[in-house]
Structure 1
Amino acid sequence: MIKAILKKIDSGRRFLVASHESPDGDAMASTLALTNLLREMGKEVVAFNRDGVPESFRFLPGAATVVSSLAGEAPFDAGFVLDAGELRRAGNELKPLCRSLVNIDHHPHSEDFGEIYYVDENASATGIMIYRIAREGGLAISPAVALCVYTAILSDTGSFRYSNADPEAFRVAGEMIDLGVDPWSVASGLYESQSEKRLQLLGEALNTLTISPCRLYASVSVTSEMLVRTGATAEHTDGFVNYPRSISGVEVALFFRQVGPAAYKVGFRSKGKVDVGSLARALGGGGHHNAAGAVVEGELDHVRATVFARLDALLK
């Protein structure tokens, strides 16, 4: 598949690079890793994310060039859709704009929507897969690309705390440091530059902490009222699910965020024993064994009861 991707790059001039809505560190960093790589090859590239670049990732090279609308854009020779799982999460409007699509992803059950389907669920991050493309093509990895690849790995392995932090993740991260990446500057950008609004919202979210009677799962919630009260936005909730996950004995953490008058996005994190990907798919969502999500319709109490009932059945 990598050879087919390199051939596609060689034969094209104008490319689109996109990732899923509400982008996390891997989605945004891999987008900019490939964008910078292609631009350094002399290609014309439009980097797109329908939700733009979250504040915590704006230190990444090329972040200022990411667009959130493709209105008026000329056709692209190819579109690279990264870390999306499903095309709709990046935007169904991408397909008619691109002569072909390339799906690069590490989510299990990733939708086969592209002419080229490069999916490896054993890869620790989509950023790792961009690195592989560069290396197999004999392409130079610039400081800008190295910074993005390192950030993608750091983000999706939970700073090398999650089970997907495999030898390849450490090896490639070390190589990126050898190429000039400063680990402290990345950690500072990701974790030491929080806004006051985020901490105020976090305080309200932690007040909703609920631990199940079996003590195997715990959750926190954020409503639209909390966002209005603190002046925060959805992007400020990134990482909230890790707080209930950190409780001793908890195997599954859940984060409920209101996304409509009667709808909540549910984020799941597992410490490894429970496949939350299967749970999310049963609820109409998707994701990995250890990290997944879905949108569930209803008021918060109903949504929580629905999800907890399914999780109880899964734990049994």
Structure 2
Amino acid sequence: MIRTILEKIEAGRSFLVASHESPDGDAMASTLALTNFLRECGKDVLAYNRDGVPQDYAFLPGAENLVSEIPPGETFDVGFVLDAGELRRAGAHLKEVCRSLVNIDHHPFSEDFGDVYYVDEEASATGAMIYRLVKASGRPLSQEVALCVYTAILADTGSFRYSNANPEAFTTAAEMVARGVNPWDVASSLYESQDEKRLRLLAQALATLTVSSCGRYASVAVTQAMYDQARAGAEHTDGFVNYPRSVRGVEVAIFFRQVSATSFKLGFRSKGRIDVGALSREFGGGGHHNAAGAVVDGTLDEVRATVFSRLDSLLAG
């Protein structure tokens, strides 16, 4: 499959690189890793995400050129859709502007929407799969690509704390450091440069902390009113789910984030026994065993009641 993708790169002239909406670290860093690599190959490349670049990842090389709208009338020989799970999460319209689509992902049950389907559930991050392409190409690894690959793996493994922190994650990260990536610079950019708005929003979210009577699941929530009060946005909520996850005894954490007047986006995290990917699919979403999400209609109280009821059943089994 890697050879097929490299042949498409060799034959193509214009490329689009996209990832899922509300991009996390892996989505954004893998997008920019591949974008930088393609440009180094002499290709015309447009990096795209309909939600733009989160401030936390603005330090990555090439971030300043990523666009949130595709110029009218522009088409591409090949479109890469990274870390998306489903085409709709990156944009169903991408099929209309790309002559060929390549799906690169590490989510289970990733939709087979591309002409090339490169999905590896065992990969620690989509960024690690991009590095496989770069390595197989035989081209030198640039500092720009190395920085993006390292950031993708660091972000998606929770700084090497999650179960997807497999041997490839460590060996690839070590290679990136050997090529000149400074771990402190990356950690400082991600974790030591927080926007004041994020902390004010986090203070409100923590006030909503709920822990189940059994102590095995917990949640926090953010509503539109909280956004307004903190003058913050969805881009400031990355990592909020880790706070209920850190409560002693909790096996499943949930983050409820309001996305419209009548719906909430759910972010699930599991410590292992409960497959939150399967749980998310029950709600029309998707993801990994230990990290997943979905969008559910209703008020916060209604959505909470639905999710908590299902978790009570799962944990009782």
Give the alignment's TM-score, normalised by structure 2.
0.99
| 2:108 is the counterpart of 1:92 | no
Name the residue aligned to 1:125: 125
Q: Give the drift of 1:74.
A: 2.0
Match of 1:153, SS state, is: helix
| 2:32 is the counterpart of 1:32 | yes
Structure 1 stretches of 4+ moved >4 Å = none
Match of 1:56, SS state, is: helix
Q: Give the drift of 1:261.
A: 0.7
Query: What CA deviation, in whole Å up to 9, does each residue of 1:158-204 have, x standing for no partner?
Result: 00000110111000000000000000000011111101110011000
Within 2, Cα distance between the matches of 1:247 and 1:150?
28
Within 2, Cα distance between the matches of 1:176 and 1:56?
20
Query: What CA deviation, in whole Å up to 9, does each residue of 1:257-292 have, x standing for no partner?
Result: 111111000100001111000000000000000000
Q: Give the drift of 1:134.
A: 0.8
Within 2, Cα distance between the matches of 1:73 and 1:155?
35
For residues 137-148 of structure 1, the aligned pairs below 5 Å read: 137-148=137-148
Name the residue aligned to 2:295: 295
Name the residue aligned to 1:195: 195
Within 1, Cα distance between the matches of 2:169 and 2:56?
22
Match of 1:113, SS state, is: coil
Within 1, Cα distance between the matches of 2:54 and 2:131?
23
User: Over aligned residues, Cα RMSD in angstroms?
Assistant: 0.6
For residues 197-276 of structure 1, the aligned pairs below 5 Å read: 197-276=197-276
| 2:79 is the counterpart of 1:79 | yes
Within 1, Cα distance between the matches of 2:55 and 2:257?
19
Within 2, Cα distance between the matches of 1:23 and 1:38?
20
Match of 1:139, SS state, is: coil
For residues 164-179 of structure 1, the aligned pairs below 5 Å read: 164-179=164-179
1:3 is aligned with what amino acid?
R
Query: What CA deviation, in whole Å up to 9, does each residue of 1:212-251 have, x standing for no partner?
Result: 0110000000000000001011010100000000111100
Within 2, Cα distance between the matches of 1:311 and 1:279?
9
Q: Give the drift of 1:97.
A: 0.3
Within 1, Cα distance between the matches of 2:139 and 2:14?
18
Within 1, Cα distance between the matches of 2:179 and 2:31?
20
1:234 is aligned with what amino acid?
A
Within 1, Cα distance between the matches of 2:111 and 2:73?
25
| 2:313 is the counterpart of 1:313 | yes
Name the residue aligned to 2:114: 114
Match of 1:18, SS state, is: strand
Match of 1:279, SS state, is: helix
For residues 60-71 of structure 1, the aligned pairs below 5 Å read: 60-71=60-71
1:21 is aligned with what amino acid?
E
Q: Give the drift of 1:71.
A: 3.1
Within 2, Cα distance between the matches of 1:235 and 1:273?
29
Gaps of 5+ in 2: none
Within 2, Cα distance between the matches of 1:96 and 1:195?
37
Within 1, Cα distance between the matches of 2:315 and 2:235?
31
Within 2, Cα distance between the matches of 1:29 and 1:280?
25
1:167 is aligned with what amino acid?
P
Within 2, Cα distance between the matches of 1:266 and 1:248?
21
For residues 20-59 of structure 1, the aligned pairs below 5 Å read: 20-59=20-59
Query: What CA deviation, in whole Å up to 9, does each residue of 1:125-175 have, x standing for no partner?
Result: 000000001111112110000000000000000000001101110000000
Within 2, Cα distance between the matches of 1:223 and 1:201?
10
Q: Give the drift of 1:73.
A: 4.4
Q: How many residues align?
A: 316
Within 2, Cα distance between the matches of 1:115 and 1:140?
28
Match of 1:23, SS state, is: coil
Match of 1:213, SS state, is: coil
- Higher mean alpha-carbon deviation, 24-33 vs 73-82, is at 73-82
Within 2, Cα distance between the matches of 1:240 and 1:158?
13
Within 1, Cα distance between the matches of 2:195 and 2:12?
41
Match of 1:180, SS state, is: coil
